[in-house]
């Protein structure tokens, strides 16, 4: 009887060992997860986009007349003084070349003008002769009137004839002057570029309208320009602002005076503030061809950062970050811990190596953190990037990187 009982005890023990081995071998292992913590600290809500710097008062100096501008002496970056620094000198443009037909026409016009001048000069000679005759007629009539041979009326007629002849002489002399001017005009039409000496008047000197620096040269070399042609740009590179275009649904959240951190310009972040949100938007296509409605926001640098502006200039790229809201002691968790549970937000808390599904009330949220209004306390551990297979009550192991 002892032997069967011993075998029974042995087989029972062996079965228990096999069952224990099977339970241990096929039990679910804890899920490896990344963990974070709910903590209190400063938090900001901000928006960021590309922007560029620009001089507040940009002056484009243009040609006041049509003519030939000499080569500009100032170079980009040179300082200028208002009313003193000479920016450009302009001369009248030279005459154009004449083709064969225009040459013949101009020469014929000169001959016609000279012939008209000779005709006018002949009229002067004729008028002078009539004046001399009228003067002699007056003397003869006066003698006859003195001897009672002619009536006083005859003397009046002689004097009238003299005055008429004198007026015709003045007219003829004026005609000569006019014809001489016609000859000068016709001869001027024959002047070509090789005959112009450029010593005439009409020289215009353009001085700097403001004190600042030369930002760009639009027309550096000598050449003929039309009136209003831009020559160079002036401005004060120390007096700059930022213009950045934000999406319109972001711009409506920005108020004048909002604090701005200027980043991405190649140095330490600079401080600034919003001066203006422009009241008019515009359409812009993104790099992917998506139509966007954008609004320009104008940003001024704070006085504390002006001493650092020497490295920035007109048209530099920057990344302004406009702070919409900030708090100093905010309970927050990484946004990667949040997921949707129906209409609510939820997280997995880690309590005694077990994932506990917990609904939370979320306030403000940025790219990295979310404000927790309820459901968590400071210091509690939560699962980051929860996997789809993670369920409430599942055992977890924190993965250490």
Q: Kindly report whether the global pTM for this prediction surpasses the value 0.95.
A: no
Residue 179 to residue 126: CA distance in whole angstroms? 17
- Biggest alpha carbon distance in the chain? 204
In this prediction, residue 219 has a pLDDT band, given cuts at 50, 70 and 90, of confident
Given this model, what pLDDT does residue 347 score?
Answer: 94
The token pair that represents 280 in the structure block: 């008019």
For 218-238, give one letter per residue: b (16+ CB within 10 A) or e: ebbeeeebeeeeebbbbbbbe
Given this model, what pLDDT does residue 194 score?
Answer: 60
Which residues, in sequence order, are CB contacts of 301 under 8 Å at separation 6+?
240, 241, 242, 262, 270, 271, 272, 309
More confident of the two residues 47 and 150:
47
374-390: pLDDT as tens digits:
999 999 999 999 988 88
In this prediction, residue 371 has a pLDDT band, given cuts at 50, 70 and 90, of very high
Provide the pairing of β-strand 291-301 with 240-247.
antiparallel
Given this model, what pLDDT does residue 318 score?
Answer: 93
Given this model, what pLDDT does residue 9 score?
Answer: 72
Q: What is the mean pLDDT of residues 101-109?
A: 83
Q: What is the mean pLDDT of residues 235-239?
A: 86
Topology, domain 59-94+198-235: OB fold (Dihydrolipoamide Acetyltransferase, E2P) (2.40.50)
- Which of 3.90.1150.10, 2.40.420.20, 3.40.50.920, 3.40.50.150 is the CATH number of 27-46+329-398? 2.40.420.20
Mean pLDDT of the chain: 85
Q: What is the mean pLDDT of residues 115-141?
A: 86
Residue 208 to residue 61: CA distance in whole angstroms? 8
Q: What is the mean pLDDT of residues 123-150?
A: 83
The least confident of 9-13, 83-87, 171-175, 346-350 is 9-13
Given this model, what pLDDT does residue 23 score?
Answer: 57
Residue 253 to residue 255: CA distance in whole angstroms? 7
Q: What is the mean pLDDT of residues 210-218?
A: 90
The least confident of 192-206, 307-321, 343-357 is 192-206
Is 70 exceeded by the pLDDT of residue 187? yes
Given this model, what pLDDT does residue 239 score?
Answer: 86
Is 70 exceeded by the pLDDT of residue 346? yes
Question: Measured between alpha carbons, how far is residue 233 from residues 58, 209, 216, 220 in Å?
Answer: 7, 11, 5, 12
Q: What is the mean pLDDT of residues 256-273?
A: 91
Q: What is the mean pLDDT of residues 186-211?
A: 74
3-state secondary structure 290-307: CEEEEEEEEEEECHHHHH
Given this model, what pLDDT does residue 197 score?
Answer: 54
Q: Write phi, then psi, for 306 (nearest 5 degrees).
A: -65, -30
More confident of the two residues 152 and 44:
44
Domain ranges across the chain: 27-46+329-398, 51-55+239-305, 59-94+198-235, 100-188
Given this model, what pLDDT does residue 380 score?
Answer: 92
Is 90 exceeded by the pLDDT of residue 348? yes
In this prediction, residue 81 has a pLDDT band, given cuts at 50, 70 and 90, of very high
5-47: pLDDT as tens digits:
666 777 677 777 766 665 555 555 778 888 999 999 999 999 9
DSSP result, 20-80:
HHHHHHHSPPPEEEEEEE-EEEEEEEEEE--EEEEESS-EEEE-SSSEEEPPP---TT-EE
H or E element in which residue 126 lies: helix 100-146
Q: What angle do CA 199, 204, 210 make, to 5 degrees?
A: 155
């Amino acid at each position: 009887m002892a032997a069967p009982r011993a075998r029974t005890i042995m087989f029972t023990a062996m079965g228990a060992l096999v069952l224990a081995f099977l339970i241990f071998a096929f039990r679910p292992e804890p899920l490896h997860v990344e963990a974070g913590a709910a903590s209190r600290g400063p938090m900001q809500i901000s928006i960021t986009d590309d922007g560029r710097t620009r001089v507040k008062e940009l002056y484009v100096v243009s040609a006041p007349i049509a003519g030939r501008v000499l080569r500009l002496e100032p170079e980009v970056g040179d300082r200028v003084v208002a009313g003193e620094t000479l920016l450009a000198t302009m001369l009248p443009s030279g005459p154009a070349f004449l083709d064969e037909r225009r040459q013949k026409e101009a020469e014929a016009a000169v001959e016609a003008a000279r012939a008209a001048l000779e005709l006018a000069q002949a009229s002067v000679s004729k008028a002078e002769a009539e004046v001399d005759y009228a003067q002699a007629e007056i003397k003869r009539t006066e003698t006859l009137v003195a001897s009672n041979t002619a009536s006083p009326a005859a003397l009046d007629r002689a004097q009238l004839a003299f005055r008429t002849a004198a007026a015709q002489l003045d007219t003829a002399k004026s005609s000569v002057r006019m014809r001489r001017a016609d000859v000068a005009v016709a001869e001027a039409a024959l002047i070509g570029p090789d005959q112009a000496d450029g010593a005439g008047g009409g020289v215009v000197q353009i001085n700097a309208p403001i004190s600042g620096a030369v930002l760009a040269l639009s027309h550096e070399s000598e050449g003929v320009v039309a009136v209003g042609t831009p020559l160079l740009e002036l401005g004060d590179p120390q007096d700059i602002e930022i213009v950045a275009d934000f999406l319109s649904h972001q711009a409506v959240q920005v108020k004048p005076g909002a604090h701005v951190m200027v980043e991405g310009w190649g140095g330490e972040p600079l401080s600034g503030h919003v001066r203006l949100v422009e009241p008019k938007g515009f359409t812009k296509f993104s790099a992917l061809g998506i139509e966007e409605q954008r609004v320009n926001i104008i940003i001024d640098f704070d006085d504390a950062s002006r001493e650092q502006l020497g490295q920035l200039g007109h048209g530099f790229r920057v990344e302004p970050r406009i702070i919409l809201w900030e708090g100093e002691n905010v309970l927050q968790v990484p946004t990667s811990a949040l997921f949707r549970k129906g209409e609510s937000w939820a997280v997995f808390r880690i309590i005694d190596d077990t994932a506990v599904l917990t609904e939370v009330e979320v306030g403000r949220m940025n790219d990295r953190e979310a404000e927790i209004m309820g459901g968590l306390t400071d210091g509690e551990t939560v699962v980051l990037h929860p996997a789809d297979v993670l369920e409430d009550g599942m055992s977890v192991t924190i993965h250490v990187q």
